[in-house]
Structure 1
Amino acid sequence: MNLSAVGFLGAVLAICWAVDAQAVSITQRAGNNFRTAANNREFVLNKSNVNANDFGLLRIHDFNAKVETQPLVVEKGAGSDDLVIITTMKNEVIGINARTNARVYDVKLGPEISSQDMDMWKHTPTWGISATPIIDPATDTLYVAAWLKKDDDNRFRDYWIFALNPLNGSRKAEPVRIFGQSQEGNGCWFNDAGAVYRQNNQTRQYVYPKLRAGLALTENHGLVLAFAANGESLMGGRKNPHGFVVAYDTRGLLGRDGVSRQPAMFCATSFNGWGAGIWHAGGAPVTEGDMIYVATSNGTSNNGDVDLAESMIKLRFVPGSGGARPLLEKVDYYKAFLDERKSGGGCLWRDNNSEVSCGRGGVGSAAADWDFGAAGPMLVPGSSLLLQGTKDGIIYSLDKFNLGKNDRFNQLLSKPPLVASYYGGDLNQNWDRAQHLNRSLPCPASGHSDHGWFMPCGDPENNKMHHIHALALAQRNQTGGIVYVWGENSRLKSYNFSTLDGELPTFRAEGEDMASVGYESPGGMPGGLLMLSGKPSASSTFPHAIDFGSAILWSVYSKFGDANKEFAEGQLVAYDATGIEQGKRMKRLFRTGDDNNGGLGKMSRMIPPVVANGRVYVMIYRVNTDDCTVPDNQLKVCSQLKVYGLR
Structure 2
Amino acid sequence: MPPKVDVLTYHYDTASSGVNSKEVLLNTANVNTASFGKVYTTPVDGAVYAEPLIYTDVTITAGVNTNVGAPGIHDVVFVATEHDSLYAIDAGVAGGTVLWKRTFLDITNPGGNVNNTLNATEIVPVAAYDVDSSEISPEIGITGTPVIDSDSNLLYVVAKTKEIIGGITHFVQRLHAINVADGTDAANPFLIGSTATCNANNFLSLCCLWWCTPLGKETNNTQIYVYGDGDGSVVDHAGTGNSIVQFNALRQNQRCALSLVLNTVYVQWASHSDNGPYHGWVVAWNVADVKGSTGFQLKGVLNTSPNNGLAGIWESGGRLVFEPDGSAFYFASGNGNGGAPTLDSNGFPANANYENSLVKVVADSTTNALNQNSNGWGLKIVDYFMPYNIVSLDLSDLDFGAGGPLLLPDSAGSLNHRHLMIAGGKEGKIYLMDRDNLGGFDSTGDNKVLNAVLNSSNYKTPPVQIGAALSTAAFFNGTIYWVSGQSNRANAYDINSTKTALMITSQTTISDFGDLPGSVIVSANGITAGIVWVMDRRANQIHAYDATSLATELWNSGQMSGDNLGSVVKFAVPTVANGMVYVGTRNSLVVYGLTALT
TM-score above 0.5, yes or no: yes
Q: 2:251 aligns with which of 201, 208, 215?
A: 208
**Aligned with 1:570 (options 540, 553, 562):** 540
2:311 to 276, 283, 294: 276
Answer yes or no: is 1:486 the counterpart of 2:483.
yes
Contact in 2 for aligned 1:36/1:473 (Cα 8 Å): yes
2:130 aligned counterpart, secondary structure: helix
CA gap 1:81/1:586 in 2 versus in 1, 3 angstroms: farther
* Residues 204, 384 of structure 1: alpha-carbon distance in 2 compared, 3 angstrom cutoff: closer
Classify the secondary structure of the residue corresponding to 2:54: strand
Compared CA separation, residues 339 and 77, structure 1 to 2 (3 A): same
> Any residues of structure 2 matched to 1:511-590 within 5 Å, and which?
511-516=508-513, 524-527=514-517, 529-536=519-526, 547=527, 549-559=528-538, 569-578=539-548, 580=549, 586-590=551-555
| Contact kept? 1:84, 1:95, Cα under 8 Å | yes
Q: C-alpha distance in 2, partners of 1:42/1:531?
A: 12
Structure 2 counterpart of 1:170: 184
State the Cα RMSD in Å.
3.7
8 Å contact 1:196–1:205 — kept in the other structure? no
| Partner SS for 2:401 | coil
Cα distance per residue 1:333-360 (max 9 Å; x no partner): 111234448xxxxxxxxxxxxxxxxx54
Once the two structures are superposed, residues 349-392 of structure 1 have per-residue CA deviations (whole angstroms, 9 ceiling, x without a partner) of xxxxxxxxxx543xxxxxx2101111111100225111112101
Q: Which amino acid aligns with 1:166?
A: V
8 Å CA contact retained: 1:278, 1:296: yes
Partner of 2:104: 109
The answer to whether the 8 A contact 2:367-2:378 is kept is no
Instruction: Give the Cα separation in 1 of the matches to 2:239 and 2:466.
Output: 39
- CA distance in structure 2 between the partners assigned to 1:331 and 1:205 by the alignment: 23
The answer to whether the Cα contact below 8 Å between 2:430 and 2:462 also exists between their aligned partners in 1 is: no
Structure with larger RCO (C-alpha < 8 A, sep 6+): 2
Which whole-Å CA distance do the structure 2 matches of 1:145 and 1:204 have between them? 18
TM superposition shift of 1:144? 0.6
Deviations 1:295-344 (A, max 9, x none): 00111343332111100111113579999997011111111234448xxx
Write out aligned runs for 1:43-82 (5 A). Answer: 43-77=24-58, 79=72, 81-82=74-75
Distance change in 2, residues 1:641/1:196 (3 Å): farther
For these two proteins, the number of residue pairs brought into alignment is 505
1:81 CA displacement: 3.7
Question: What residue in structure 1 maps to residue 502 of structure 2?
Answer: 505
Provide the residue aligned with 1:378 in structure 2. Answer: 406
CA–CA separation in structure 1 for the residues paired with 2:15 and 2:81: 25
Where does residue 33 of structure 1 map in the other structure?
14
Q: Are the counterparts in 1 of residues 404 and 424 from structure 2 also a CA contact under 8 Å?
A: yes
In structure 2, what is the equivalent of residue 294 of structure 1?
331
Match for residue 427 of structure 1? Answer: none
Name stretches of at least 5 consecutive residues in structure 1 with no aligned partner.
1-19, 234-238, 342-358, 362-367, 418-430, 445-455, 517-523, 537-546, 560-568, 622-638
Alignment of 1:398-477 (within 5 A): 398-407=433-442, 412-416=447-451, 435-436=455-456, 443=459, 466-476=467-477
Q: TM-score, normalised by structure 1?
A: 0.70
Q: Give the corresponding residue for 2:145.
A: 132
SS at match of 2:473: strand
Q: CA deviation at 1:25?
A: 0.5
1:122–1:294 Cα change, 3 Å = closer
The separation in 1 between residues aligned to 2:257 and 2:238, in whole angstroms, is: 28
Change (3 A) 1:495 1:116: same
What is aligned with 1:228?
Answer: 270
Code of the residue aligned with 2:328 in structure 1: it is M
**Is 1:88 aligned to residue 81 of structure 2?**
yes
- Unaligned runs of at least 5 residues, structure 2: 60-71, 106-122, 193-221, 344-348, 372-376, 411-417
TM-score scaled to structure 2, two decimals?
Answer: 0.76
Q: Distance between the aligned counterparts of 2:163 and 2:443, measured in 1?
A: 44
Provide the rounded CA distance (Å) in 2 between the counterparts of 1:530 and 1:205.
32
